[in-house]
Amino acid sequence: MNGGAVRAARLLVCLVLLPCSASAASLRDRLRASSLTVGIAGGSAFDALADNIADTAARNLPIISGSAGYTYRYNPQLEIFERTSETLGPLFLERPDTLGRGKLNVNVSYQYVQFDEFDGRSIKRLEAQDPIVIQEFDSAGNLLRSTANRLRYGLKIHSNIGSLSLTYGLLDNLDVNLLLPVIDTDFAVGVQSQVIAMALPGGGFSAAPEPLRIGRTQGNAVGIGDILLRGKYQFPAMEGGIRSAAGLQLRLPSGNENDFQGTGDFEASPFLYLSTILWSRVEPHANLGVDLRTDNVERSQARYGLGADVDVTRRIGISLAFLGRSQFKESAPASDTSFLHLTSAGVQQRPLLGVSFDRKDFFDLSFGARAVVWRQIMVFANGIYALNDDGLRNGTVIPTAGVEGTF
């Protein structure tokens, strides 16, 4: 059995046997305390670094579309449901078409997210340009010495995500959707620290290399992620064949923020969806919305996307999309994660490990395909590739696969 099959099988077991977790300490607590494995007490900067990495990891998990491949309208004259969708639809953008009164769409998907980089730097080798300064005190609080330490972190944050999406047509032009993700998170951090210089009280730093110290901690957590409640109201078609709909997404803080699986806060996200049909088989899409954070509205973010899906045949469709997110403000002020460093200009405050949580933009390319296998049952596969380096990113492709049916 290959690695992907093993991960999927483990996630399936956990879907049935929730809750299951390999450790009592949360993953965020393990990251906070990881400096202790090399004899560094840590402090507020280390805690803030762990808090912001945990929050960033949770917010950067992709959200699959709630739009169904097939949509319908009831024809009272013929007393039958007639298909209204002319293409098989996008996978990570929403289209305006609603499902149809009384129709139910069931979607089951699997994603594997392996975070590799932060601002273009490998998270396996996070290290500031300058060494950090550690002050050592005796039991009476007197300064004994200060050391300049080369500090390096190597992080592993891998998530297997199994999601159940249920969409129901309340009216011909009104859908409601529930997205329930279950997340299996593997985490590890390796820490290396080496004293390269030392200063006595009142004196300057001089070279005093000491042996390299190496520590490691790891953990695993499985739990429900943030549940999404989504609604979509389709407006009457405009002139020129433009279709439009208003959407509302509510993010419930059901995921454990201490295990990188939830944000810990309620969010409301209004959206506008637009599309049209070209040559009976091509459907361009545009999405625009904003994720409004209730804990700090200034740190909300805009969401936007452009794409198109094309039916190659009546049973096979391909989709291509640009996905964007732009934060309104930094996720944490620089002072939160600043720590004393020994620079060429002396001892100064610098971001711990050189990691900055300033304002970020996230640009991704989504590409995938849907294929009808039997009646209203179809399978799909998709990949998401990061187009820029901002923030915590997957350095390769985030794969998604699943099956959906409309009943």
Residue 10, pLDDT score = 57
What are the CA-CA distances from residue 178 to residues 103, 108, 155, 314 (Å)?
14, 12, 33, 28
Of how many residues is the chain composed?
A: 407
SS3 content of the chain, % helix, strand, coil (to 5): 15, 50, 30
Q: Does domain 3-406 have CATH number 2.60.40.10?
A: no
Residue 9, pLDDT score = 54
Instruction: Check the CA dihedral 66-71-74-79 and report its sign.
Output: negative
Residue 85, pLDDT score = 79
- Tens-place pLDDT, residues 132-160: 999 999 999 999 999 999 999 999 999 99
Residue 298: which pLDDT band, with cuts at 50, 70 and 90? very high
Contact in structure between 355 and 76 (CB atoms under 8 Å): no
- Tens-place pLDDT, residues 79-119: 677 777 789 999 999 999 999 999 999 999 999 999 999 99
> Beta strands 243-252 and 132-137: pairing type?
unpaired
Residue 3, pLDDT score = 56
The mean per-residue pLDDT over the stretch 200-209 comes to 95
Q: Is the pLDDT score of 229 beyond 60?
A: yes
83 phi and psi, to 5 degrees?
-70, 135
- Tens-place pLDDT, residues 238-289: 988 999 999 999 999 999 999 999 999 999 999 999 999 999 999 999 999 9
Instruction: Check the CA dihedral 186-63-304-383 and report its sign.
Output: positive
**Helix (H/G/I), strand (E/B), else coil: 7:** helix
Q: State which amino acid sits at residue 317.
A: G
Q: Is the pLDDT score of 24 beyond 80?
A: no
What are the CA-CA distances from residue 210 to residues 127, 150, 197 (Å)?
18, 11, 9
**What does pTM read for this prediction?**
0.91
Give dist(CA 89, CA 368) in Å, integer.
Answer: 11
**Helix (H/G/I), strand (E/B), else coil: 99:** coil
Percent of the chain with pLDDT over 70: 94
Mean pLDDT of the chain: 93
The mean per-residue pLDDT over the stretch 152-181 comes to 97
Q: Which residue has the tokens 């169904």?
A: 68
User: In the chain, where are the structural domains located?
Assistant: 3-406
